[in-house]
Structure 1
Amino acid sequence: MSCPDCGDELVVRLARGRVPHFAHRPRRKCDAAKARARSAAERRRARLAAQRAAADVDDTQPSLFDLPAPDDA
């Protein structure tokens, strides 16, 4: 199989725990493939940031400031 953008040969990546896919051989230069990988990484970072932000703003749990103060007795 070859890259539709640059024509270089692609290899199959079969890593445990990952989706099987085709990739360029190491140290090959394909600007289109690098751009796709970069944008995929940016999408992953944005998704993780949104998940973290959603986890930080959990209105269903009381805040420490919402708890009653302990008695001074």
Structure 2
Amino acid sequence: MRKIFILLGTLIISTSALAFHCPADMKKIDAALATSPKLTSEQLSEVKKLRAEGETLHKAGKHQDSVDMLGKAMKILAI
């Protein structure tokens, strides 16, 4: 019984950690975009699309999907 409570507690904590990770990634992307990075128009469009999708997923509670989407945007931005 104790192991079940520990497992549930760990899952709750890890979900919360992911939830807080998304906004930090969005801020990093926004800061990088504010510096007018040297990207092609296609790359810039893709970064903005991925960032918007990441925010939508975050608001929907799909934090791992959000982190993955934002990670793709950060990779293009090299951050």
TM-score scaled by structure 1?
0.40
Structure 1 or 2: more helix by fraction: 2
- TM-score scaled to structure 2, two decimals? 0.38
Which one has a bigger Cα radius of gyration? 1
